[in-house]
Structure 1
Amino acid sequence: MHAACYSVFALLQSPVTDEQSILVTTVIDTLRAHPGMSLGCNVSIQSAALGGWRSKVIETLAGEPQVAARLVIELTESAPLTDIDAVADFVRALQQLGCRVALDDIGAGYSSVRSLMELGVDIAKIDGGYLHRARSNGCARVHLGALIHLARTSASHVVDERVEDEEDLHVSQACGAHWVQGYLFEPIFAAGLAQSASEPERD
């Protein structure tokens, strides 16, 4: 059981492709500047179905495998997905370059379970509402365990979200999550990332 080890630097989820391109480019620039850092970047799954900006990102990462290996593209669903095949192509292209792909809020999105089964992502992130309900409801805990089990059949790593205390951590571990994310662990904000990366490690 581990805390998620990458920081979500970019939180904008706009489907506007120009903004999406700027967002991902900013994260890539940050990774170039800080070779020891890994970052996650939220991308609207609807944007991932569109061309243009995706080709630019793929072209950039193709020439910088050391950057691609430290980048996690996190797909978020804010509306029904109409072209899952195009998204699957984008996911495969990123993975071939060494980039990891995550699917966020599984169980809460418009078609997140279908997306989980068809996209072949590396990281599956379970919507925190399942853990919230499982805190005091045995039936909900069974549902959480079943969803995590399903996610483990499709993704190499499963993250349980909204872990706020030691009891949440215990429930997540008992239900089979590989990783956890939440306020049990100190959040890292974008404004402090560069400073943190430049500070020497302490014994």
Structure 2
Amino acid sequence: MSNPLTGRPYNEDAAHSSPFAAAAEQTRQDAISLVEHALKDRRAMLAFQPVVQARMPRRVAFYEGLIRIMDPKGRIIPAVDFMGAVETMELGRKIDCLALEMGLNTLAVEPGIRLSINMSARSIGYPEWLATLERGLRQDPRIGERLILEITESSAIVMPDLVTVFMQDMQERGICFALDDFGAGYTAFRYLKDFYFDIIKIDGEFIRGISENPDNQILTQALVSIARHFDMFTVAESVETAEDARMLVDMGVDCLQGYLFGAPDTRAPWKMSHLQDEKMTG
């Protein structure tokens, strides 16, 4: 839609309203262009981050597969640098498709791991994403028992009815679901009794520095209690210090994820841990 006073599209008016707005719009367009070309050339990979058992942190419960794209020079670009620009576009759905495809391929060749893959609830109605999922399950139906789909709270609450039906269908096939960034939106509580998520991932906003933040201690304890009431497994995101980890264990959090236990790595961390164990025992 155009602005009747200027004849330009409204977003173009916003870009011309100030140098800062113009720069932000240019950055957004650059991100979109980078993603478009990367997907066309399949310049993408998964980075894997361990999610460990809280009381036995040397034991990995599962890995999260995080999409990374590469620029033409081969430099790795994390999702935080481009997902905001493409989340609501078809490009966002194509990123979800590629992440799921790579995740399913990883599970097919690594039968000893569980893996979570991020997705937007918007992808549930995207035919190509559904076809990708069905292809993976047809090749080996048991893969579903090791697949966790992470849906962000912000996208889940946009279309709760669609998410609920989809989850019920897929859970019958063994797939688990995690509600990502729980607490960040502050509005999903009333949907929890309908969603039946298997895992709740508590947003890092509440976790970073929790050992020194009484307010976040109260809020996180409340989130853990809510998850326990609905019989949901809890994961604390962004755990960066031993002090924070100890407090989360005392609160009853089931699993921990963060740089304290491992950064996302494009190499297979389950193979690296085996090598380290062999060195320690050799």
Give the TM bin, normalised by the shorter chain: 0.7 to 0.9
Question: Larger C-alpha radius of gyration, 1 or 2?
Answer: 2
Structure 1 counterpart of 2:71: none
* 2:131 corresponds to: 56
Question: Which of the numbers 194, 206, 209 marks the counterpart of 1:130?
Answer: 206
Q: Determine helix, strand or coil for the equivalent of 2:164.
A: helix
SS class of match (1:5)? strand
Amino acid paired to 1:10: L
Q: Please identify, of 72-81 and 120-129, the stretch whose mean Cα deviation from structure 2 is larger.
A: 72-81
Alignment of 1:182-197 (within 5 A): 182-189=258-265, 191-193=266-268, 196=271
- Residue 147 to residue 78, structure 1, CA distance change in 2 (3 Å): closer
TM-score of the pair, normalised by structure 1: 0.83
Per-residue deviation at 1:108?
0.3
Q: Of 229, 243, 246, which residue of structure 2 is paired with 1:153?
A: 229
The letter for the 1-side match of 2:135 is: T
- Structure 1 equivalent of residue 66 of structure 2: 10
- Is the helix fraction higher in 1 or 2? 2
Distance (Å, rounded) in 2 between the aligned partners of 1:199 and 1:36: 12
1:69-90: CA deviation from partner (whole Å, max 9, x where unpaired)? 1111111245583321111111
In the TM superposition, what is the alpha-carbon distance from 1:52 to its structure 2 partner? Answer: 1.5
**Which residue of 42, 54, 70 maps to 2:118?**
42
Aligned-CA RMSD value:
2.7
Q: CA offsets per residue over residues 93-123 of structure 1, 9 Å max, x none?
A: 2211111110111110363334433311111
Q: Which amino acid aligns with 2:241?
A: D
Percent of paired sites with the same residue: 27
Are 1:121 and 1:155, in contact at CA under 8 Å, matched by a contact in 2? no
Match of 2:74 in 1: none
**2:108 matched residue in structure 1:** 32
Query: Gaps spanning 5+ residues in structure 1: where?
Result: none
Does 2:149 align with 1:93? Answer: no
Give the 3-state SS of the residue equivalent to 1:74 in structure 2. Answer: strand
The residue type paired with residue 147 of structure 1 is L
Stretches of structure 2 lacking an aligned partner (at least 5 in a row):
1-53, 68-78
The count of corresponding residues between Structure 1 and Structure 2 is: 201
**Corresponding position of 2:253:** 177
Aligned-pair CA distance for 1:20: 2.1
1:53 maps to a residue whose letter is E
Determine the C-alpha separation between the residues in 2 that align with 1:61 and 1:173.
36
Shift, 1:197, TM fit: 7.3
Per-residue deviation, residues 119-169 of structure 1 (Å, max 9, x unmatched): 111110011111236322334312211111101222431011121122111
**Letter in structure 1 aligned against 2:271:** S
Distance 2:158 2:175 in 1: 24
Matched, 1:84 2:175: no
